[in-house]
Copies of this chain bind each other. A is one copy, B any other.
């Protein structure tokens, strides 16, 4: 089978740390180019400054792109790539708005190309196992705690504080993407409180209450934890079971007992899936996690908290 010639657009930290190794490890793909406004001497393949230059310069020599720019830029790049007949993988969150995703899905359908919204946190063997354990169960309580230190994980990244930058939902949407994957019931927002630093456009913390007739379902997302960081999801079931995911979905505990998993890692799994989708002519577009964030904004109470500097 011919390998899939792929380019990475947006050659920043996530592209270098995760996408590149996963692509290099997958024999289905051949990395042929990158696009980045900043030159990267070590970038593999041909280097371009913009996605437009890359699409034009690689015409006839490219099958697919992985879009790893900040979210606000992704829609226009994905649209141009689909227009040029390329398959598209979108880092999470796939776009800045639900309308953009809806439109890209329609374009992918028209151009018969693969569009894949890659929610990396869903691609953990522990997440699949949690999903299987909760299938058919009655969940009586469900809690997300996503506590981290924004200065440690996003040093100098100003876009996270700009409109469309998602703030604490940038990591928090990973938890939501796991939640929508593992829960056997639909998850939707009943109430929310969004805490905005008085000098910023996106929230630094958020509390979400989900609609549930069965008990307490909620999420606490907070970027102000310099100590005590945690990324945990806990579900209780009517039969007395407790399913916990720790470490952002990497570790599963069943009734307090840790289960071990092998597996190739999130991004290798993503590229296996992307190759399979391209080979079978399918798309995989999931906007549920972004819909939950949008609903939290729509229904949420805004609070101003101390400025972030």
Name A residues whose Cβ lies closer than 8 Å to a Cβ of B: 72, 75, 96-100, 102-103, 106, 163-164, 186-189, 191-192, 196, 201, 211, 290-295, 297-302
Contact = CB atoms under 8 A, between A and B. Distances in A.
A295 B99 contact: yes
A98 B100 contact: no
Contacts of A100: 188, 211
A98 B99 contact: no
Nearest to A300: B163
B298 A102 contact: no
Contacts of A201: 301-302
Contacts of A211: 75, 99-100, 103
A187 B298 contact: no
Contacts of A196: 302
B163 A99 contact: no
A186 to B, nearest CB: 5
A98 B299 CA distance: 10
Q: Which of A96, A188, A196, A292 has the most CB of B within 10 A?
A: A188
A265 B188 CA distance: 35
A291 B298 CA distance: 10
26 contacts: A75-B211, A96-B298, A96-B299, A97-B189, A97-B299, A98-B98, A98-B291, A98-B295, A99-B186, A99-B187, A99-B188, A99-B211, A99-B295, A102-B186, A102-B188, A103-B186, A103-B188, A163-B191, A163-B301, A163-B302, A164-B298, A201-B302, A290-B298, A294-B295, A294-B298, A297-B298
Q: Which of A102, A189, A191, A297 has the most CB of B within 10 A?
A: A297
Contacts of A297: 294, 297-298
A177 B49 CA distance: 40
Given A196-B302, A201-B301, A302-B196, A295 B188 contact: no
